[in-house]
Chain A
Amino acid sequence: MADTPVVQMLGISKIYPNGIPANQDVNFSVNKGEIHALVGENGAGKSTLMKILFGFEKPTSGIILMDGEEVTFASPMAAIAKGIGMVHQHFMLVPSLTVAENVVLGMAPKKSGMFIDFKEAVRLTEEYAERFHFDVEPNARVADISVGMKQKVEILKALVRGAKVLILDEPTAVLTTQETEELFRQLHELKNQGFTIIFISHKLNEIKELTDRVTIMRRGKAAGTYDTDSISEQEISRLMVGRDVVLELEKTPAEPGEVVLHVENLQFVNEWNKRMLNGISFDVRKGEIVGIAGVEGNGQRELVDILFGLISPEEGSVHVNGVNISDKSQRDLRNMGVSYVPEDRMTFGIAGTASINENIVSDRIASPAFNKGPLLNMKAIRETSQHLIEDYAVLCKSGRQHVNMLSGGNIQKVVVAREFSADPLLIIADQPTRGIDVGATELIRNKLVDLSREGAAVLLVSADLNEVMELSDSLIVLYGGNIVGYFDDGQWDDVMMGEYMLGLKKQSDEEVKRACHA
């Protein structure tokens, strides 16, 4: 049974109306009861391939076989009817509805002919949750549950609809370490019960840990399928980008100067009255990278929002170069030399339907260099933008292309090109490489190190533990809204970090106070 292909995609090509080939003659075969990884850089074509399998897109050519029979999916409903389920990276859940209501949406059980049978909906949800050992609360509103539980609801939705083949699109991108472990246990459980799982991911360690086989995609083509055990992370990475990626970063020791960012006793209570920050104090000095590590949801989000003036703290203060920023606008902050790489690049980082040129100069458009009387100096804008596009290797047709036409990694390059070229005194980088390809990640990390060595103060917030450990000169660990650890000796490893991040260990107040240098 192990070698029976359940899904075969043969000779799949997809050419978009604008002439861009997203898939070229891709062969992809998944066996029954296996966990099959699909990896590739952003824009390598794996999303397109899965959209075709799930009926979102029609292939230009090629056929799909399920259990050896040719099938065509005109819509996701047709794919669902044949037993394919997809868990999207962005959850397809209605926040104000309960878990059970979301599970039965579109197939709500009825009673007395017209009313929803809520009891039956809850029973159905519980039945499936029990069968697969999913811990969900059917009557909870989706808006109130954790990200990890939302994902379980998504998987349940697919299972209730009879899915036998589950496509998971970067499922761990939003999960905490514990939630990821739990997900992996559940995926193993599903596998043992005969389900087939296609696991799209960027994270090579997860692929090694979880999957049986791996198919690598590169520039719209399949670059091979391997038994996961027979291939190393370095080999996968090389096949993905077609060159060896330097995963170890070269970095000279930091020579910290005077304090640029001074954070004192920040406290914040969120709208659900949960205390998210509980008296945070630390400094970031010129020429150093301070990393903030921690499982997501331990105050990072609130800290960054306060630092860039998006929310106000209940208590405490933030000083940039000795100036209190409490009544400063984002414009003021930028004029003070603060650059910001937001976590949510699509909302806060770019204007999607504006061009690359326009996005790159959007923070400095008032400058005399880009104006000619009442009009914009298009030539100067174009030249500056072109220079940055080359410098940051943004893959695009021209600077006039709309930013939302680019892949995730290239969009992020546009964001950092703008933020890093503003001659920043302080860079707040929030998850700067989340969900982007290895090449773009490498470029952004190197630029961050270069800028800090040239004298910028860098605050790096990242859920990617390897990233913070590798880039940071000193490290702060947040847990439950407190700083539970401060490390400045470069002597850290993931086991030790894990213990602090999960709240198993905590430094004394004296040790934590070392994060303040003033």
Chain B
Amino acid sequence: MLKQLAEWVFQIDFLFVILRITAPILFAALAAVVAEKAAMTNIGLEGTMMLSALFGFLIAYWTQSWFLGVIGAVLVGTLLALMMGFFYLEFKTDIILTGIAVNMLGEGGAIFLLFMFTGLRGNTAILVTPNILIPTINIPLIKDIPFLGKILSGHCILTYVAFLLVWLIWLLLYRTPLGLNIRAVGETPQAASSVGVSVKRIKYIAIAMSGALAGLGGAFMSMYYSQGWNQGMVAGRGFIALAAQAMGRGEPVGAMLTSLLFGTAHGLSSKVAGLPNVSSFLVSMIPYAVTILGLFIYAWNRTRKLKKRGIRRLTGI
């Protein structure tokens, strides 16, 4: 069994698939990283992805331009996040409850809006034309490298964007004044505000960026991965991303590594599902089970370290 798994994992086409499956999780995980750096848990990623995926697709369909569709998805993601920020920052609502509201809006609202705009129920498969789908590109030189070339080349443009963003987000957080402000606001807001950094403004910017990143994830899902929008498409990726953020210690590179882990689990589950005598329902649990297991190992490891330092009982649990 394990041998079989190892064989799958190290096949060229499977490694290619892993990158593709990882990309949307990575977008969302980076969204979680940016928000969390400013001390906001963006639990609304799931709903943000749902709605931006829908609008990205619809805009692409109406304009017959995948590019405008992606831009639209990013805008919708940003707007939803700004709305979350508005309630959280202006009316002091709980950020988690606000995020849950966005998720419920995404769940029900997307189905309703799709029907309102197109009369379709549940999915947009019949509207798909090649113009709507985000194109894949072959990278010159790299595509000719044996083995690696076949893994790294030929991906959707957004897949490259996702991995490029890991570096860009790191650069933003650690090399720009805005990033310094985001980290300061997230860690010690009173210190930031005491030197004239507007905590509210920085939090707005961070949550907006988080929404934009989730928007890219949504666009990836409906305009490439699923080839059209459908109801169950995001499938918990917004929540898995939060786990990836936590396990990746809130850092862009860490989030990328954990996203790859979850991507691999996802890929394996579809492989296993192809075997005879295996319940597909059971198999579709794998990525989520891996997420829980991952979080457990992470939390256990951290608790052990705290215990080693002699810290106990402070929380009463």
A interface residues (Cβ-Cβ under 8 A, vs B): 75-77, 80, 88, 91-97, 101-102, 105-108, 110, 114-116, 157, 161, 268, 270-271, 309-314, 329-330
Task: Give complex CA distance A101, B192 in Å.
Answer: 11
Q: Within 8 Å of chain A (Cβ to Cβ): is B276? A: no
Task: Give complex CA distance A280, B310 in Å.
Answer: 17
Task: Give complex CA distance A270, B310 in Å.
Answer: 8
Q: Within 8 Å of chain A (Cβ to Cβ): is B187? A: yes
Q: Which of these binds chain A: B123-131, B148-156, B178-186? A: B178-186
Q: State the Cβ distance, B6 to closest chain A Cβ, in Å.
A: 39
With A312-B312, A329-B313 in contact, do A161 and B195 touch (Cβ < 8 Å)? yes
Jot down 24 A-B pairs with beta carbons below 8 A, ordered by A: A80-B196, A92-B188, A92-B190, A92-B194, A94-B183, A94-B184, A94-B192, A95-B188, A96-B187, A97-B183, A97-B184, A97-B187, A105-B184, A106-B181, A107-B195, A108-B177, A108-B180, A110-B177, A116-B176, A116-B180, A271-B309, A309-B313, A311-B310, A313-B310
Q: Within 8 Å of chain A (Cβ to Cβ): is B139? A: no
Q: Within 8 Å of chain A (Cβ to Cβ): is B311? A: yes
Q: For A330, what are the chain B residues with a Cβ–Cβ distance below 8 Å?
A: 313
B interface residues (Cβ-Cβ under 8 A, vs A): 175-177, 180-181, 183-184, 187-188, 190-192, 194-197, 309-314
Task: Give complex CA distance A326, B192 in Å.
Answer: 42
Q: State the Cβ distance, B299 to closest chain A Cβ, in Å.
A: 18
Q: For B310, what are the chain A residues with a Cβ–Cβ distance below 8 Å?
A: 268, 311-314
Instruction: Decide: A106 and B197 in contact? CB cutoff 8 A.
Output: yes
Instruction: Decide: A76 and B177 in contact? CB cutoff 8 A.
Output: no
Instruction: Decide: B187 and A106 in contact? CB cutoff 8 A.
Output: no
Q: For B190, what are the chain A residues with a Cβ–Cβ distance below 8 Å?
A: 92
Task: Give complex CA distance A498, B61 in Å.
Answer: 81
Instruction: Decide: B176 and A115 in contact? CB cutoff 8 A.
Output: yes
20 additional A-B residue pairs with CB within 8 Å, beyond A76-B196, A310-B312: A76-B194, A77-B196, A88-B194, A92-B195, A93-B191, A94-B187, A94-B191, A95-B187, A95-B188, A96-B183, A96-B187, A97-B183, A97-B187, A105-B192, A105-B195, A108-B177, A115-B175, A116-B177, A309-B313, A329-B313
Question: Of B176, B196, B311, which is within 8 A of A106 by CB?
Answer: B196
Q: How many A-B residue pairs lie within 8 Å, measured between CB atoms?
A: 73
Instruction: Decide: B187 and A157 in contact? CB cutoff 8 A.
Output: no
Complex: chain B residue closest to A78, CB-CB: B196
Q: For A93, what are the chain B residues with a Cβ–Cβ distance below 8 Å?
A: 188, 191
The 8 A-B residue pairs with the shortest CB-CB distance in the complex, in nearest-first order: A106-B195, A108-B177, A92-B191, A92-B194, A271-B309, A311-B310, A77-B196, A106-B197
Q: For B176, what are the chain A residues with a Cβ–Cβ distance below 8 Å?
A: 114-116
Q: State the Cβ distance, B29 to closest chain A Cβ, in Å.
A: 21
Instruction: Decide: A105 and B313 in contact? CB cutoff 8 A.
Output: no
Complex: chain B residue closest to A118, CB-CB: B175
With A88-B194, A330-B313 in contact, do A105 and B187 touch (Cβ < 8 Å)? no
Complex: chain A residue closest to B174, CB-CB: A116
Task: Give complex CA distance A270, B180 in Å.
Answer: 30
Task: Give complex CA distance A94, B180 in Å.
Answer: 10
Q: State the Cβ distance, A279 to closest chain B Cβ, in Å.
A: 16
Q: State the Cβ distance, B312 to closest chain A Cβ, in Å.
A: 6
Task: Give complex CA distance A77, B314 in Å.
Answer: 38
Task: Give complex CA distance A157, B192 in Å.
Answer: 12
